[in-house]
Amino acid sequence: MNASQIEEKLLKPKAGIPVLVCDLVLLVASIFAMIAGFGGGWLGAVLLILGIAAFIAVFIVLAGLKAVRPNEALVLTLFGNYYGTIKEPGYYFVNPFCSSVSPAYDKAAAEKARREKETGGNPSSTTQMSFTRNRISLKTMTLDNGRQKVNDVIGNPIIIGAVVIWHVENPTKAVFNVEDYPSFLSTQTDSTIRNIARLYPYDVFDEGEESDTVTEKTLRGSSQEIAENMKSELQKRVSDAGIVVEEVRITHLAYAEEIAAAMLQRQQAAAVIAARQKIVDGAVGMVKMAVNKLGEDDVVILDDERKAAMVSNLLVVLCGGHDAQPVVNTGSIY
């Protein structure tokens, strides 16, 4: 049977406590039977055989007792075939010959993640998740994808990091459709973030434009919308593994070290140009208002040449980067 054709079958097994009690009674009875069997005679031989058989049966029954904790699932197979899934918490008795299935466990990767965590580092996405128990957790978990270097749409190298909030919805798909679903999720997250980030620029540099006229999405300015796109794309990739992506958050975004200084200078230059433009616009408006006010109130009558000189002086004072040094003219301006 193809793994993609396996449909989840929920089991409703028997309660395990009554079976455990009966198993303990059988254990005591088997011990007494074996002790009585050493008395000799054909009756003793029969009791000894029955006691040994009952003692073996005790351990076979014990193998069928399974405990499932809240927000966990147990996927069972019987002689290589899918048997069923237990999602309800409790203590149950199932077929003793059933075996539980869990994702592959990489001991070396788990040890590497432990060392990275102890040294204060950020474990890589392919090593930080490992499972040692046979039960599949249904809890909401966080995958810290770490940081990776990608190129934006115009080719600038950037450093981007993200976390994924996720949980397993279908444990049957999680264990049968992929080899190791935590590593599968991690790999798909790396690929998704890289493919989505390369579709957008890091930032726009038309600082002189009004904010409501800028419609292009950027990684810095539209991080929430881009994170939603990452979530949708990642969900399509991991749906066959029974995983539900609840949220994707961009946690780190910066230029790569080799271009960070140049981009900072570019941003500063754009900011200076935008500031100077506003200063000039304001100064021209103030000079125009001053000239019109003088003409309306007949404070002083200036010809075009004198108006030009006054405009020049006012613009120098208003647009200069330093405080003006006034000069008092005691003679006629003519």
Looking at the structure of the chain, the number of domains it has is 3
Domain match, 90 and 225 both? no
Q: How far apart are CA 156 and CA 201, in angstroms?
A: 8
Residue 112's CATH number: 3.30.479.30
The pLDDT tens digits of the residues spanning 116-140 come to: 545 544 444 444 444 445 788 888 9
Final residue of a domain: which of 83, 100, 117? 100
The pLDDT tens digits of the residues spanning 208-236 come to: 444 443 447 888 778 888 889 999 999 99
Q: How far apart are CA 248 and CA 17, in angstroms?
A: 43
Domain match, 113 and 37 both? no
Domain match, 54 and 190 both? no
Q: What value does the mean pLDDT take over residues 59-63?
A: 90
pLDDT at 214: 42
Answer for the pair 96, 76: CB distance below 8 angstroms, yes or no: no
264-272 long-range contacts, CB within 8 A, separation 24+: 266/205, 267/203, 267/205, 270/205, 270/206, 270/207, 270/208, 271/207
pLDDT at 32: 87
Answer for the pair 125, 143: CB distance below 8 angstroms, yes or no: yes
Would 93 be classed as within a structural domain? yes
Would 332 be classed as within a structural domain? no
Domain match, 123 and 216 both? yes
Answer for the pair 248, 164: CB distance below 8 angstroms, yes or no: yes
Token pair listed for 192: 């998704």
Answer for the pair 166, 241: CB distance below 8 angstroms, yes or no: no
Domain match, 12 and 53 both? yes
Token pair listed for 334: 């003519």
Domain that holds residue 32: 3-100
Would 236 be classed as within a structural domain? yes
Q: How far apart are CA 324 and CA 313, in angstroms?
A: 10
Domain match, 299 and 202 both? no
The pLDDT tens digits of the residues spanning 21-47 come to: 998 999 898 888 888 877 667 777 888
Final residue of a domain: which of 255, 272, 301? 255
